[in-house]
Structure 1
Amino acid sequence: MSTANRPARPSAIAGYEDWPRFVRNQPRYLALTAGAQELSDALGVPAPASRRDVTVHWEETHDGVTTSQLSWQLGFGPRTTGWLVRPAGGSGPLPGVLALHCHGGNKFGGADRLVELPQTHPSAAEARAGHYDGRALATEVARAGFAVLAHDTFAWGSRHFDLSEPPWRTAAALEARKSQWREDGVVPTDSELYNAAAGYHEDTVAKTAGLLGTSLAGMVAHDDLAALEILASLPDVDPGRLGCIGFSGGGGRALTLAALSPRIRNYVVTCMMTTFDSLLPAYLDAHSWLLQTPGLWKLGDWPELTARSGADGFLVQYALADQLFPEAGMREAHRILATLHPDSYAGRFWPGGHVFTAAMQNEAITYLARTLGAGSPAAQAHSTVPTP
């Protein structure tokens, strides 16, 4: 076949063709401490642009909370959608929390799984039922007296890659998946098709990021840092009382954000704590590129990265039957954290698998309310979490 007759090769980064230019031209994120800077450099975090025009698309009050849909442009790729949730009729300034959605193998959606919305997409409802005990985490945190921002991060939801014409390697893997669906008599939904393609495509995204001198985790951190600055700038938010919370991949994002930004005073990591060594040889394949940035281990073990944060305190919640982490690794991580942070770390082991249960959410919300000063004094004092 002549070159002229060959089919055009699809873009491997459709929707993000301006990403390479952005990374080449944007300076690296500058942290305030040497330890945080080492992490920024290892992940290859670009500096978020200093100016972001935030648009409010709609606002609705229901069942005690006011929810606003926002969007902003980060200078490359699709526009970001986020939701601000706060107590209805509350007067500021309120403590602020960044709610960080999980990976979950669901990139069709993002932060919508964390927010009660007038219309919930089935993929968000499925993620909520499977990972959050059926609850909208960001909305529940807001009910405790916080201004909560939940946003789609790089490669999820509104920040997705366009895979309508997937690159050839992704397309070949997707065809095999479609064949299996046909054999099983399954008609996949649009979200199932996209998530299957995105799962294969994550390797391409990670390769592209590596070529550009960044990483998937570094680009996600870029988006999270930008969202944190937006939260801190809101008129009803106290920028001196900010925290973050995340389950699974969102827990990894919370740890990373707290290490990179001095704005985070207290944070919660749920079902995302172990030692790197415990992932070998059997558990490494259970995790995405969010956890497995090449060279990250050179900076220390995963729990040791918390020492790069200047936060006042943090809570880690472990699930004893977590399918993604061996118990021995979680126990060793707990030991390391208790040694590193005897006065600021709280660790709790829960029964059950890789799920952010309602009881765990209540504990996490109570911890944040007490440490960041949200809600009534009685609510802050009533806590089952050890005081850091």
Structure 2
Amino acid sequence: MTAVDMAASPTRPSALAGYEDWPAYVARNRLTAHSEDARQLADTLGVPAVTPDLEYAVQSESEHDGVITSRLQWQLGFGPRTSAWFVRPAGAAGPLPGLLALHCHGGIKAYGAKRLVSLPDGVDRPDSGENPDGGDNPDGGAPLGERPGNANGSVSLGLPPLDVRAKLYGGRALATWLAQQGFAVLAHDTFMWGSRRFGLDPLPWRTAKAVSGQEALWREAGVEFSAAERFNAAAAAHEETVAKAATLIGTSVTGTVAHDDLAALGVLASLPGVDMDRLGCVGFSGGGGRAMVLGALSPLIRSYVVTCMMTTFGSLLPSYLDAHSWLLHTPGLAKLGDWPDLSVRSSATVLVQYGLADQLFPEQGMRDAHHHLMENMPARYTGSFWQEPHVFTPAMQDEAASFLTATLQPRQLTSTPTPDSTRTYQ
């Protein structure tokens, strides 16, 4: 939308398309926390209460590569329906430890959890009545774009970009691979991503100005941009508007993401074949921050892994602020302590993996966070340092799976593995 288009428009487009019911839901529903520490955090983040007895529907199921993958959907109290993928080993006997695989931010909101799931060709492709990421809300969740849509008017974004998986996850579909290691894994789209994205057609005016600038840069460079790339550019600019709206209605981006993650944790605990006494989560980058918040809010989480998402608040000033999204910066959070104190507030066992070449976090901030955790939760904390940039490599995933296997054993057998001395900084 150009400035001329905006001037000619008789009405101002919604800045919350698909989420017009979000403010009223937040006003009516506040999370009741299980402890004082969790209450303080929930109040600071403004976490909405999760709809009780949430029902899910199984949309499809396939067996491949030694796993069974089921596509699930559920409707939360506001916004579009959530799509998720439940992956577990084929032929598994007895209840399995359950994991939430929390997708990263990655600057890509057109797709969420699907970047973590491997599907055989032809399975889970959209039909004429649903959006390509598995959502079926073409009005509230349809992406913007100029390419022809299908019969219901939504714009096709194609398949999820495999280069994201190759670049950040070493080519592995994390959720599928974890299921092959013996876990029952649920990977869901969270608030603002995939099936839970905002409708950005037409664009809100402030977002439209940012997208117009990006399009001009692409054209000048001779870049042919896809509908998904244009949507991601719009969603990046729109995140500022979402953060503003969240503050206005008494929540936050992190708090609303936590709401979606708590809801998914409840679904995971109810799924057949999942041992609800052995639940954990794992996340890279923004997914790691989500794991920390979830562990601090829910006593169901016994163990979790944070990869490339640990530092101190002070270390982000003054040069690293613009490297991060609103998942890390929540007003008032520093009053409760430093970023690593989210893990201290949890009763869970945690592995933190640091990338010493991580371009998003200064090394000293990571080392200071490590010392803080060593001092405040030595019995529940393991830290490992890797000579890696901002990635979740297969070797790091191997370590994470070993840690989760050990810490999610039946309680009488639980033990914490000894950290590798070659990667642990004292």
| TM-score using structure 1 length | 0.94
Q: Deviations over 1:105-156 (max 9, x none)?
A: 0000000001102359554412211211111111111111110000000000
Separation (CA, whole Å) in 2 of partners of 1:179 and 1:5:
21
Partner residue, 1:317: 353
Q: Deviations over 1:225-262 (max 9, x none)?
A: 00000000112111100000000000000000000000
For the structure 1 residues 381 and 266, does the alpha-carbon distance in structure 2 shift closer, same or farther, using more than 3 Å as the test? closer
1:216 to 253, 257, 281: 253
Separation (CA, whole Å) in 1 of partners of 2:345 and 2:189:
25
Partner residue, 1:251: 288
3-state SS in 2 of match to 1:7 = coil
2:279 to 242, 245, 249: 242
- Answering whether residue 22 of structure 2 is matched by residue 19 of structure 1, we say yes
Partner residue, 2:51: 49
Instruction: Identify, as 1 or 2, the structure richer in helix.
Output: 1
Separation (CA, whole Å) in 2 of partners of 1:355 and 1:5:
46
Q: Deviations over 1:359-387 (max 9, x none)?
A: 0000001110111129xx9xx99967469
Deviation at 1:163, TM superposition (A): 0.7
Contact 2:313–2:338 under 8 Å retained in 1: yes
Q: Which runs of 5+ in 1 are unaligned?
A: none
Letter in 2 for 1:213: G
3-state SS in 2 of match to 1:59 = strand
Contact 1:270–1:356 under 8 Å retained in 2: yes
Deviation at 1:5, TM superposition (A): 7.4
Separation (CA, whole Å) in 2 of partners of 1:8 and 1:325:
43
Contact 2:184–2:274 under 8 Å retained in 1: yes
Letter in 2 for 1:333: A
Separation (CA, whole Å) in 1 of partners of 2:292 and 2:38:
12
Letter in 2 for 1:337: L
1:8 to 11, 15, 24: 11
Contact 1:243–1:265 under 8 Å retained in 2: yes
Find runs of 4+ consecutive structure 1 residues off by over 2 angstroms.
4-7, 118-124, 380-387
Separation (CA, whole Å) in 1 of partners of 2:316 and 2:190:
25
Separation (CA, whole Å) in 1 of partners of 2:276 and 2:97:
7
- Answering whether residue 369 of structure 2 is matched by residue 333 of structure 1, we say yes
Aligned residues: 378
Partner residue, 2:90: 88
Contact 1:366–1:382 under 8 Å retained in 2: no
Letter in 1 for 2:398: N
Partner residue, 1:185: 222
For the structure 1 residues 356 and 5, does the alpha-carbon distance in structure 2 shift closer, same or farther, using more than 3 Å as the test? closer
1:164 to 197, 201, 212: 201
Partner residue, 1:66: 68
Deviation at 1:209, TM superposition (A): 0.4
Contact 1:154–1:223 under 8 Å retained in 2: yes
The alignment's C-alpha RMSD in Å is 1.9
Contact 1:98–1:148 under 8 Å retained in 2: yes
Deviation at 1:6, TM superposition (A): 5.4
Partner residue, 1:78: 80
| TM-score using structure 2 length | 0.86
